[in-house]
Amino acid sequence: LANEVEKTMQNAPQGATTHAISLLLGHPDPTTLLTPEFTEAMQNVASSPQALTALQYGSEQGNRALLDYLIGKISAEQSIALRHDQMMIVAGSTHAVDMIARLYTQPGDTVLVESPTYADALHIFRDHGVELCGVPMDKQGVCVDEMASLLSRLQHDSRLPKLFYTIPTFHNPTGITLIESRRQQIVELARRYGFMIVEDDVYRHLAFEQEVPSSFFALAGNVPVMQIGSFSKTLAPGLRLGWLVAPSEAIARFVGCGTTQMGGGASPLSAQIVAEYCRVGAWDRHVESLRRLYQMRRDTMLDALQRYMPPSVKWTQPNGGFFLWLTLPEPMQASVVKQIALAHGVIVGAGGGYFSNAADGSHNLRLTYSFAPPDQIEKAVEILAGVLNDLS
Amino acid sequence: LANEVEKTMQNAPQGATTHAISLLLGHPDPTTLLTPEFTEAMQNVASSPQALTALQYGSEQGNRALLDYLIGKISAEQSIALRHDQMMIVAGSTHAVDMIARLYTQPGDTVLVESPTYADALHIFRDHGVELCGVPMDKQGVCVDEMASLLSRLQHDSRLPKLFYTIPTFHNPTGITLIESRRQQIVELARRYGFMIVEDDVYRHLAFEQEVPSSFFALAGNVPVMQIGSFSKTLAPGLRLGWLVAPSEAIARFVGCGTTQMGGGASPLSAQIVAEYCRVGAWDRHVESLRRLYQMRRDTMLDALQRYMPPSVKWTQPNGGFFLWLTLPEPMQASVVKQIALAHGVIVGAGGGYFSNAADGSHNLRLTYSFAPPDQIEKAVEILAGVLNDLS
C-alpha cells in the first residue's frame, strides 16, 4: 500500500505530513526487528561454512533445517501430522499468493474473497486477470449463509470459483477471527462446489488472549487447503521468508514450476540465518514478547477509541494481529475523513481499497496498532475522533 | 533444471552417479561464493543500524544505495545515461522474467525465443500460457533473415509476438554472442513489428577476451528494451538479487504491481549486504578474478575437446559465460548419449530441453565449464569422448 501512502502525501496540504502519525501500514513495530539473537545468528552464518550452502542456488523446496523446524512446530501447534512433502519455503506470503494465482487460475476464473480483505492480495489476483467475488463478513467472520447463496448463483451462471482466499485468523483489515463452526461449514461448501481454500494465516502466532480456532488445513480432511505462513509479521519483512503448507501434489507442482526451477528455493541466505535463529529457540521467545507488545498496543487503541470517539462510530475487538476496523455513520465518507485526518497529521486507510467492489467500503477505516508507539496511537485516535466529532 | 538432474539420477545404474562429474548445472564455481570481503560486508550489516532498514519492508524500487551504485556502473559500462526511474532491484532474473510474463503477456500470446534458449525461461513462459516460437541461430547469434521471414508469417496469421526473449551475450546454452550489426537489425524489426526486446544479460560481466557488443538497451533508441542483470553468476545465487533496466513506464508498472506492493522491494537484507560489499569495490575485484577463473576453465574444456573428441563432433567457442554447445553427428541421439555418459559417471544436458520444439535439439549437448574443477572437466570430456567414439 505504499503507493497509497505516496498518493496521500502528494494530496496533503504542505507541511501536514512531516510529523504525521501512520495508522496505515501493516508493518511490524520497527524497534522489534533487530534483536541481539538475530545479529548473532547472522554473524554465525557469515563466519561459518553454512554460508557456502546458503549462497548457492537453494534446494527447490527450501532450506532443509528450516523446513524440519517448521514442520515440527506447526504440526504440534495445529495438531496435525505434516509430512515433509506437504511444505515448502516461500519468499513471503506474496510469493505464495502469486504462485497460487499463476498455477491454479486462468484469466476470467472466479476467485472468492472476504469482503473486505487484504488490498494487496486483491491487486495480485487482478494482475492475473481473475474475477473477484466478495463474501460479506460479520463479527464471527465470513457469513456462511451468504456464501452458500452466492455459490448457488455462481453455479447457475457456470462461474464456480477455483479458490476461496481467506485470512481467517486476526483478519486483515478487520481483526476479526472466523469461528470454528463456520470453518467447518466452509470446508463442506468447498467439498460440495469443488474449490480450494487458500488460508492466509500470517497473523496466527500473534494471539493475545486465547486459543485460536483450528486452522482450515487441520479441519479440511481431503478438501485441498493451502496455508500460508510468514516471518514478516513475527520476525522481519526484509528477510522475504515464509512457508506454504499444501497437499503434496500442490507442493510438487510449485517445486516443479518455472520460477522455482530457475531460481532455486526461496531466499536461501535469509533461510539459513533464520534456521540458525530458530534452532536456539530465539523465534519462540521473540513471538512471545511480540504478543505482549501488540496486546498492549491494541489495549491502548481500544481505550483511546472508547474515550474519544463519538457514539455513532463502531469498531471491532481484535484478539490478535495488527488491525482494527472502524465503521462510520452513514453520512460520513471514509475518503473525506482520510483527507481531513491527514491535514491534521494522522494517516489512516480508507475502506474502499479493501473491497473487490470499492463502494462497499465507503464508511470504513482500517487502523493499525502494530506500527506506531503507544503515545502516538493515543494521540492519533484523539485527533481522528476530533475530526469525526466535527463532521457529526 | 534440478528436476532433470533428479530424473537422470533415478534412471542411472546403481552406483554410477556417486562420484559423477556434473557438466549440467549452470551454477557458479562453489569455491568462489564466500570471500573474506563478503563475510565482512555481512558482519558489518549485522552489527550496524543499517540492518534495521534492511529488515523492514523495502522501498518498492529496491535498496537505494545499491540502485545508485548500479546506475553509475552500468551507465559507464554500456555508455548510456540511465535515469533513476529506469531501474529496479529484482530477486534474481527469475523474478524479472516472471514479472514481465505476468504483466506484458496474456495466455495465447506469441513470444519469440532463440532456438535454443534457456530451458527454465521456456518453463516460466509456459507457466503463463504463452505460445513460444523459436528463431534459429548460427555462430553469430540469431539469424535475422529467418527472424524477418518468421515475423512476416506471424503477421499474416495475426500472431505477432508481444516480446522477443534473448540472451544475446555469452548465450545460454550455446555460449554464442550475437554480433552488433544483427542487434541493430533486430531493433529495426522490433520497431517495425511492435514487439519488446527482453535482454537477459546475466553473463555480460563474464567476458574473457574482448569488448562485448553494445547492449540492446544501448542500441534501441525508443524501441522498448528490458535488460536483466543478476548477482547470481558473478557473486552468489543464494542472495536472490539482480536488477532490471527498462523504460520508466515499465519500471513504474513493475513497482506498482501487486507483488511489489504486497512484498515491498526485492530481497532487502541481501541488497543491503551487497550494497555494502559493492561500496568498497569488492564486487569489481571479484568479477575480475572470476573472468580469469572461468577463462581458464573454458580453455581446459576446449583443449580437452580438441584432444579427445572424434572429428565428427563440433562445438562452439565461447568468449565468456558458463557454457559451450556440442553438435553430434546426425545418427547419434543426445538423449542416448546422455544416458550412456551418466553410466560412465558424467552428467551432461541433452539438447531437447533448450528448444521450444524439443526435437530440434536431438543432436546437441550443453556442457558447463563453470562448476567442476579443471581436472574433473578434463576427465569428464575424455569420458564423454570415449562414449562418442564407441558410438561412432
Cβ-nearest to A34 among B30, B52, B264: B52
- Interchain CB distance below 8 Å, A127 and B95: no
| Coil/strand/helix, residue A175 | coil
- Interchain CB distance below 8 Å, A270 and B270: yes
Q: What predicted TM-score, i.e. pTM, was given to this entire model? A: 0.95
Give the cell for residue A313. Answer: 462510530
Tally of CB atoms within 10 A around B7: 11
Q: Which of B369, B372, B338 is nearest to B7 (CA)?
A: B338
pLDDT the model gives residue A171: 98
Burial degree of A145 (CB within 10 A; 0-12, 13-18, 19+): exposed
| Coil/strand/helix, residue A145 | helix
ipTM: 0.94
pLDDT tens for B306-322 read: 999 999 999 999 999 99
Q: Which residue in chain A has the smallest CA separation from B230?
A: A263
Burial degree of B359 (CB within 10 A; 0-12, 13-18, 19+): exposed
**A184–chain B nearest CA distance, Å:** 29
Q: What is the DSSP string of A224-264?
A: -EEEEEESTTTT-GGG--EEEE--HHHHHHHHTSHHHHHH-
Give the span between the Cα atoms of A82 and A77, in whole angstroms: 11
Give the span between the Cα atoms of B14 and B303, in whole angstroms: 32
Which one of B48, B57, B120 makes the best mutation probe of the A interface by having the most chain A beta carbons within 10 Å?
Answer: B57
Tally of CB atoms within 10 A around A356: 20
Hey, which residues does B138 pair with through a beta bridge?
Answer: B141
Contact call for residues B271 and B62 (beta carbons, < 8 A):
yes
Contact call for residues B92 and A266 (beta carbons, < 8 A):
no
* Dihedral Cα A324, A327, A333, A334, nearest 10 deg: 0
Q: Which of A206, A209, A262 is nearest to A234 (CA)?
A: A206
How sure is the predictor about B65, in pLDDT bands with cuts at 50, 70 and 90? Answer: very high
For chain B, what percentages of helix, strand and coil (3-state, to nearest 5) are there?
50, 15, 35
pLDDT the model gives residue A210: 74
**Cα end-to-end distance, chain B, whole Å:** 29
pLDDT the model gives residue A8: 52
User: Which chain A residues touch B91 with a CB distance below 8 Å?
Assistant: 91, 240, 263
Contact call for residues B166 and B100 (beta carbons, < 8 A):
no
**B238–chain A nearest CA distance, Å:** 4
User: Which chain B residues touch A236 with a CB distance below 8 Å?
Assistant: 55-56, 269
Give the span between the Cα atoms of B358 and B362, in whole angstroms: 7
How many beta-carbon contacts under 8 Å exist across A and B?
208
Give the span between the Cα atoms of A299 and A297, in whole angstroms: 5
Which one of B56, B66, B130, B276 makes the best mutation probe of the A interface by having the most chain A beta carbons within 10 Å?
Answer: B56
Hey, which residues does B115 pair with through a beta bridge?
Answer: B136
Q: Which residue in chain A has the smallest CA separation from B44?
A: A43
User: Which chain B residues touch A272 with a CB distance below 8 Å?
Assistant: 238
Give the span between the Cα atoms of A358 and A347, in whole angstroms: 19
Give the span between the Cα atoms of A66 and A62, in whole angstroms: 8
Q: Which residue in chain A has the smallest CA separation from B118?
A: A262
Residue pLDDT tens, chain A, 392 long = 444 554 555 555 544 556 899 999 999 999 999 999 999 999 999 999 888 899 999 999 999 999 999 999 999 999 999 999 999 999 999 999 999 999 999 999 999 999 999 999 999 999 999 999 999 999 999 999 999 999 999 999 999 999 999 999 999 999 999 999 999 999 999 999 999 999 999 999 999 987 899 999 999 999 999 999 999 999 999 999 999 999 999 999 999 999 999 999 999 999 999 999 999 999 999 999 999 999 999 999 999 999 999 999 999 999 999 999 999 999 899 999 999 999 999 999 999 999 999 999 999 999 999 999 999 999 999 999 999 999 98
Q: Which residue in chain A has the smallest CA separation from B238?
A: A55
- Interchain CB distance below 8 Å, B46 and A55: no
pLDDT the model gives residue B8: 52
- Interchain CB distance below 8 Å, A120 and B52: no
List CB contacts of A113: < 8 A, sequence separation 6 or more: A121, A122, A125, A132, A133, A134, A135, A164, A165, A166, A356
pLDDT the model gives residue A17: 53
pLDDT the model gives residue A7: 52
List CB contacts of B223: < 8 A, sequence separation 6 or more: B187, B190, B191, B196, B197
Contact call for residues A196 and A104 (beta carbons, < 8 A):
yes
Phi-psi region for residue B93, left (φ > 0), alpha (ψ -120 to 50) or beta? alpha
Give the cell for residue B193. Answer: 513489428
List CB contacts of A207: < 8 A, sequence separation 6 or more: A169, A170, A291, A319, A320
Cβ-nearest to B127 among A34, A258, A272: A258
Helices A282-308 and A36-46 meet at what angle, rounded to 10?
150
**Mean pLDDT, chain B, whole residue set:** 95
- How far does Cα A14 stand from its chain's mean position? 33
Give the span between the Cα atoms of A266 and A243, in whole angstroms: 9
For residue B340, is pLDDT > 90? yes
- Interchain CB distance below 8 Å, A125 and B259: no
Percent of chain B residues topping a pLDDT of 70: 95
- Interchain CB distance below 8 Å, B257 and A107: no
Write out the H or E segment, with its range, that includes residue A189: helix A180-193
User: Which chain B residues touch A97 with a CB distance below 8 Å?
Assistant: 262
Give the cell for residue A245. Answer: 503448507
Q: Which of B371, B261, B174 is nearest to A119 (CA)?
A: B261
